[in-house]
Every structure is written in C-alpha cells, then in structure tokens.
Structure 1
Amino acid sequence: MKYSQIDQSLFILNRQNYTNRLKNNSLAIFNASDEFPRSGDQNFLFKQNPDLFYLSGIDQEQTILLLFPDCPNPLYKEVLFLRQTNDHIKVWEGYKYTKEQAKSASGILNIFWLEDFDNILHSIIHYAEHIYLNTNENDRYAHTVAYRDIRFIDQMRSRYPLHHYERSAPIMRELRAIKSDVEIELTKKACAITRDAFVRVLKFTKPGVKEYEIEAEIIHEFIRQGGTGHAYTPIIASGHNANILHYNDNNQVCKDGDVILFDFGAEYANYNADMSRSIPVSGTFTQRQKDVYNAVLHVMKEATKLIVTDTVWNTYHEQVGEIMTEQLVNLGLLSIADVKNQNPLFPAYKKYFMHGTSHHLGIDVHDFAGRYTKFAPGNILTVEPGIYIPEEGLGIRLENNILITSSGNIDLMADIPVEADEIEEIMNGSKG
C-alpha cells in the first residue's frame, strides 16, 4: 500500500454501526472482489470490494469478513479470513498481511486463514436465523458479470436453503453516504493531491502538447504523493473531444485556440476526488470561450448553494436546470420561445447540458447512496455543470467536491484554481 495505515477506529465504528442494524440472531458475510484476468498470465490491478474495505480496512484479495454478533461462541462473533502466504507467494507477489498486521489494520482480534472458512462457517451457521449477504446495488451498475458475491449467494442457498436470507446493501447504502471525520480527511487528501496535479498541468500545457502527455503529468503527481493512482479513467479532451462526455482516448494534439476539458481525480487510501476544469491551450480564453466558461462557473456556484441539509434530489436538479436555462438564453444558445415550448420531460437546456449535476462521492467515485434520500450532514457530493456546443468545437465543465455540514457546506476544492483570470495568470506566469 502506498498510503499510510488508517486508524482502525474507523473500521471498528463502521462494524458497530452495521451490526446494530441487523435483525436478532443474524450472521453477515462480505467477500473481497474478484481478481480479473487481463491477459494469458496476468490479472488487472486488484481493487477491493468497497463494502469489505469500509468494514475492515483490509486491502487484499481473497479476504472474507464474517460478523455474527449473537454467536454463542464468542470466538466467532467477528472473524476475518485471509489468504495465507507461503514461500512461493513471498517470492513472486511479495507483501501479504500477517495475522498481527490484519489485527492492527482492522481491529478484529480473531483472524484465520482462508482454508478454515468452510469449517468455521458450518460450525456456527445453524445457530443463526438470518444470513445477510451482499451484492452491488449501486443504481449506476448494470449486472452483466457473475462476480464473486453472486456466485457466493448461489453456493450459500444451495448449502443452507432453509435460512432467511437478507440484503446487506440497504444498510450499507445508509451508512456509507454519511462520511466520518476520518473519511473526510482522506477525501481532503485526495483533493489536495488532485489540486497539485492540476497546478502542474496549468504550468505544463501549451500548443502542440498531446493529451496523453498531460495525462502523464497528472499520474506523476498522483504517485509522487502516495496516491493509488487515478480515481477513474481520466478525461483529457481538447477541442471537439470535449463534447464526448466519456472521452478517454487522450491521444490528440492540443491546438492553439482550443479549450481542454479535464475530468480527473486522485485516489488515496481507496477514497476519491473528482474534479473537472477547462483551460485554454494558449493560456488565454477568447471572449466567447470566457463567456461560456463564466456561465458554467455561475451555475456551479449557484448549485453549490443548494447542496445543504434536507435538499431533495429531484427538486435540486430542477432548480439547477432553471439556473442553466437562464445562462443558455444569455449566451444565445436558447431562445425564450425554445424555453416556452419545451417538453417538460426533456427540458430545452438538455440540448447543451445533458448529464446530472451531482453525485455522491466516497470509496466509489459514484458512491453508494439513496437517490430518494434527502441530503444530510456528512454527505460529500460533486457539483459539475457543463455546457457542450459541438458546432463551436467547445465543451466546458467545472466540478468541485462539496461536504455538507450541519451549519452549511464546505467546498473541499476551494483552493483549486477555477476563476478564468486565475487560470490564465498561472498559465501565462509559467511562460514568462
């Protein structure tokens, strides 16, 4: 791991909050993510199941967490199962948790090797009435691959068909949306690394550089500061590419007169930043580019004011749509008639701003949370309006990460340059 060990108190508290929501006499099991093949003899870089990490702090493949608060045998109320290392693994793969290291990271006292899981589970499961199992219930996920949790559910139902099976996901959705102080600090660290990468890019960018050269500058700064890497595949979209919302080829030359749309963020200790910025390749916006830029910035600032306790998701997006509509009219992209005659189910502004304004942020970039739950203190959300004008070869998106508190909200990216004049000053100052 590149990051410093997280205080185990976070995971102890997370487990307490989770088990307090279980029905009486319940057993819960969480599995590590699959290891996915990348080629004939290599796997993709392992990424831990976010729920398992949230409850244990263990960042290693083939891990299982078992929670049984009412277990008649105290030894098995809270158990972690790990892949046992050996001389071959030590030589070829290197570091794996020892039992003592896993205790230190997770706060779980009873650690066993993975080979003991079946026997231990079978010895206690008949004393449980309910079995809580986990699946990916993120609204943005479409299930097409039979991942480990799905396979495990089939195995459990086959072996123990008469137990009452329950879903862990509704509990995790409730818990993970509210960030603790430790989680907020980890997110701030990811934001700080992202800030430094962006400033580095401002000083590096000029006509003739390639998008992937900018991407290289970003990952250099992420890794240099102990980040795991990119929170998601970065978007370095110059000119017309900015109108492709998920553009990530990042292989074109940045041309004088164009604007580059960036969407990137650092991952640190499994927590993520998510930032968007748009900058002029030449170091100076044209008047039209600046007008569009300032319109997006206005929407972002006004939308940020709405990210407060008890905000309702759909109402929020409708309000942002009204703010955006006004700006599009001012820019001459929409007419009053367009707005008057719009289809309420597909408002006119959607022609130039077709994606949502916000999403929750955390261990997942699009974090697990209820879309019908009112915003609450401890939520971290993005604010990311954009205006995309294919006929002008121009796309502008700006995005910051906002923490809701009981007394208002805090912009976790307030120290990242976003004003057009500030961006121009940094870019041109580096060329003097």
Structure 2
Amino acid sequence: MKYDQIPSELFVKNRKNFMAQMKPNSIAVFNSNDTYPISADSTMPFQQARDLFYLSGADQEETILVLFPDAPYVEHREMLFVRETNEHIAVWEGEKLTKEKAYEVSGIKSVHWLKDFDKIFFEVMTQAERIYFNTNEHYRQSVETETREDRFIKATKAKFPAHSWERSNPILQSLRSVKDQIELDILQKACDITEKGFRRVLNFVKPGVWEYEIEAEYMHEFLRNRSRGFAYTPIIASGNNANVLHYIENNQQCKAGDLILMDVGAEYANYSSDMSRTIPVSGRFTNRQREVYDAVNRVKDNATKMLVPGNYWKEYHKEVGELMTKELLDLKLLDKADVKNQDPNWPAYKKYFMHGTSHHIGLDTHDYGVLWEKMTENMVFTVEPGIYIPEEGFGIRLEDDVVIQKSGEPFNLMRNIPIEAEEIEDIMNT
C-alpha cells in the first residue's frame, strides 16, 4: 500500500464497538471485495470492502473476518482468514499479508490461511445460534453485480438453514458515521493532498488548456503524495459542461471567459476527500460570475454553521433551501411569484440548485450514516451548494468537508484550500 500503516488500535476499537451491539451467541462474517475482470486476463484495480477494512485494516483480496464474542474458545472470538502466500505469489504479485503482518495490521491474534476457513467456520457455527450477514443498505446503493459477500450469504443460508439471521448494516451505519480521531487525522491527510492538487491547478489553468490536462495535474499531485488517486471519478467541467451534474468526460478545451467547475478529491488509506471549486479560465471573474459565486459562497458559509449536534439532516436541507431562495431572488433568477406558486415537493430554488447540500463522508465518498437520527459530534459532512444557469453558460459549486464539533461551528478540514474569489484571482495572476 502507498499509505502509512494505520495504528491497529483503531480496528481493535471498531471491533469492540461492533461486538458490543451483537446479540448473544452470534457470529458476524465480513468478506473482502472481488477482483473484478475486464476481459482476457485483465482486471480492475482492487479496492477493499470498506466494512471489512473498517473492522480489520486488512487491505487485500480473498480475506474473511469472523467475530464470535461468545465463542467457547478464546482463539475463535476474533479470526482473520487471509490468502496463503508463497514464493511464487511473491515473485508474480508481490508481498502479501503473512500471519505476522496480518496481526500487526489488525490486532487480531488468530490469523489463519483461507484454505482452513470452511473447517473452522463449520465448527464455530455449530456453537452459535445466529449469524450476522453484511449487506449493502446504503440509501444510494444500486449495485447489480453479485459480490463475494452475496455468494457467501447464499451458500451459508443453504448450508445452515436452521440458524437465525441478523443484519450487520444497521450497526455499521451508526458506528461508521461517527469518526475516531485516527480517522479524522486520515481524512485531514486526504484533504491536505487535495489542497496540493488544487494549488497546482491554479498555477496551471489558462485559456486553451484541456479539461483532461487539468485532471492529469491533479493525478500527478495526488500520486506523488501517496494517494492511490481520485476518491471518485473527477468532474472537470468548463463552461456549460458545469450544468451537467455528473459530467465526467473531461474532454473539452477551456475557453477564455469561461468558468471551470472542478469536483475532485484525493483518496488516502481508503478514506475520501470531496472538494468542489469553481475558477475562471482567464484568471478573473466577470461581474456576473462574481455575483453568483459570492452568493453560492454565502450559502455554503451559512449552511456550514447549521451542522451542529442535535440538528436533523432533512430539516437542515429545508433551511438551506430557504437560504438559496433568498440568494436566487437577489440574483433575479427567481421572482416572488415563483416562490409563492412553488410546489412544496419541488421548491422553486430547485430549478437552479437541484441536488442536496450535504452527505456523510469517510471510507466512502457517500459514507454510511443514519439520516433520520440527530447529528452528533465527530460526524463528517460535505457542504456543497451550487447554482447552475445553462442560459448563461456556467454553473458554480463550492464544497468543503467539515467535522461536527461538540460546541461551536464545525471544523473545516479544507480550511486551507483557497475559496474566496479574491484569493483565487490573486494566486492565478501571480
């Protein structure tokens, strides 16, 4: 892995917190992701299943974690199964986890080779009453591929039909939404790498550059700072491309006078950052661009102040909608009649700001989190308002990642990334 090793105390604590919420005499099992094929002998780059990583720190394929806190034998209470390595694998694929290294990474003493899983799993299942299956229940998930986890669940239900089944996901949704200080430090590292990429781009952009060239500048800076690369597919959208919310072609030339909306973020140690900035190709905003830019920035600043313990995600978005409505009225994009006659289920401001303002962020860009529960200390949210005006040929989105604090305003992990219009212009013109 490119990243510095994460202290195993994080994963020890995560497992302890998870097992504390398991029902008596239960087993929980977590599988790694598959390595997905492209064609012939080619595969996509491997990315670990986030829940398995959260609970073990093991970051390689063909890995299984078993938790059985009430096991009769101590050595069965936490078990990690990893692919057996040998000299042939070392030559062709490089270093894999040894049993000793797996213990160092995870803090799990009972490490076994994967070939021994079926035998040991049968033994512990005869001692347990129920099993926790790990399904993806994120509110935005739309996975159609059958995963390694799916295949395990199907096989286990067939082999052990008399056991009761439970869901790991509700426990993980709650645990993963509140970050440990070690996690916050990793997220800060990811944001700091993103800052380096953005500052590089501010010194690179000029009329005539191509969107993919800007993408390449980010990737260069991310990789040289021990990131695997982008935390998600980057959006580098100049001119009217910014009005396509998930524009990812990044294949157009940037023209003088246009704006570039950039929604990018560096990954670090499997954790995501998520930044949006909008900059002028020519190094200066026009009066109208600046007027809209400042409106978006005001909404972002005021929305950030609302991310406090006790607030609710749904109510928060309603309040942000009111802030945006006021700004759109001032910009003459809406009038009082538009607001008076609006559909409550699709308010007038949605014509120019059609997406949500905030989502959880962490191991996933759209991270786990129970949206109907109160916000609490050490949750991490994005704040990303935008105004999109196709008829004027530009769109603006601004986004930071912030940590909810016990008291006071949230802590901005992107506080050092330029966002004020004057600072951006100054950097681009020096």
Task: Give your verdict on TM over 0.5.
Answer: yes
| Structure 1 residue 148, shift from structure 2 partner | 1.4
C-alpha distance after superposition, 1:212-267 (max 9, x if no partner): 11001001110101112110000000001000100010111000000000000000
Structure 2 Cα separation of the partners of residues 74 and 359 of structure 1: 40
| Structure 1 residue 90, shift from structure 2 partner | 1.4
Determine the structure 2 residue equivalent to 1:413: 414
C-alpha distance after superposition, 1:277-307 (max 9, x if no partner): 0000000000000001000001000100101
| Structure 1 residue 144, shift from structure 2 partner | 1.7
Determine the structure 2 residue equivalent to 1:120: 120
Structure 1 Cα separation of the partners of residues 152 and 177 of structure 2: 26
C-alpha distance after superposition, 1:145-190 (max 9, x if no partner): 2111111111000000000110000000010000000000000000
| Structure 1 residue 87, shift from structure 2 partner | 2.6
Structure 2 Cα separation of the partners of residues 149 and 141 of structure 1: 15
Determine the structure 2 residue equivalent to 1:282: 282
Correspondence list, 1:221-300, <5 A: 221-300=221-300
C-alpha distance after superposition, 1:344-399 (max 9, x if no partner): 11100000000000000000000011111111001000000000001111100000
Unaligned runs of 5+ in 1: none
Cα RMSD of the aligned pairs, angstroms, is 0.7
Structure 1 Cα separation of the partners of residues 395 and 327 of structure 2: 15
Three-state SS of the structure 2 residue aligned to 1:43 is coil
Correspondence list, 1:354-369, <5 A: 354-369=354-369
Three-state SS of the structure 2 residue aligned to 1:37 is coil
Matched, 1:379 2:418: no
Determine the structure 2 residue equivalent to 1:13: 13
Amino acid at match of 1:171: I
Structure 1 Cα separation of the partners of residues 198 and 162 of structure 2: 55
C-alpha distance after superposition, 1:110-132 (max 9, x if no partner): 11000000000011211101101
| Structure 1 residue 424, shift from structure 2 partner | 0.3
| Structure 1 residue 91, shift from structure 2 partner | 1.6
Structure 2 Cα separation of the partners of residues 224 and 252 of structure 1: 26
Structure 1 Cα separation of the partners of residues 241 and 411 of structure 2: 32
Structure 2 Cα separation of the partners of residues 276 and 374 of structure 1: 26
Three-state SS of the structure 1 residue aligned to 2:138 is coil
Three-state SS of the structure 2 residue aligned to 1:127 is coil
Over 2 Å off, 4+ runs: none
| Structure 1 residue 39, shift from structure 2 partner | 2.3
Determine the structure 2 residue equivalent to 1:425: 426
Amino acid at match of 2:41: D
| Structure 1 residue 42, shift from structure 2 partner | 1.1
C-alpha distance after superposition, 1:302-323 (max 9, x if no partner): 1001011011111100000000
Structure 1 Cα separation of the partners of residues 375 and 300 of structure 2: 18
Structure 1 Cα separation of the partners of residues 403 and 75 of structure 2: 39
Determine the structure 1 residue equivalent to 2:82: 82
Three-state SS of the structure 1 residue aligned to 2:282 is coil
Structure 1 Cα separation of the partners of residues 56 and 202 of structure 2: 39
Three-state SS of the structure 2 residue aligned to 1:260 is strand
Amino acid at match of 1:150: D
Determine the structure 2 residue equivalent to 1:392: 392
Matched, 1:157 2:141: no
Structure 1 Cα separation of the partners of residues 198 and 261 of structure 2: 12
| Structure 1 residue 143, shift from structure 2 partner | 3.5
Amino acid at match of 2:397: R
Amino acid at match of 1:324: M
| Structure 1 residue 86, shift from structure 2 partner | 2.2
Normalised by the size of structure 1, how large is the TM-score? 0.99
Correspondence list, 1:7-156, <5 A: 7-156=7-156
Structure 2 Cα separation of the partners of residues 94 and 73 of structure 1: 35
Structure 2 Cα separation of the partners of residues 346 and 123 of structure 1: 55
Amino acid at match of 2:86: N
Amino acid at match of 2:190: A
Structure 2 Cα separation of the partners of residues 286 and 124 of structure 1: 68
% identical equivalent positions: 56
Normalised by the size of structure 2, how large is the TM-score? 0.99
Structure 2 Cα separation of the partners of residues 211 and 310 of structure 1: 41
Structure 2 Cα separation of the partners of residues 253 and 291 of structure 1: 25
Determine the structure 2 residue equivalent to 1:318: 318
Structure 2 Cα separation of the partners of residues 159 and 143 of structure 1: 25
Range with bigger deviation, 419-428 or 135-144:
135-144
Amino acid at match of 1:21: Q
Three-state SS of the structure 1 residue aligned to 2:221 is helix
Structure 1 Cα separation of the partners of residues 398 and 130 of structure 2: 46
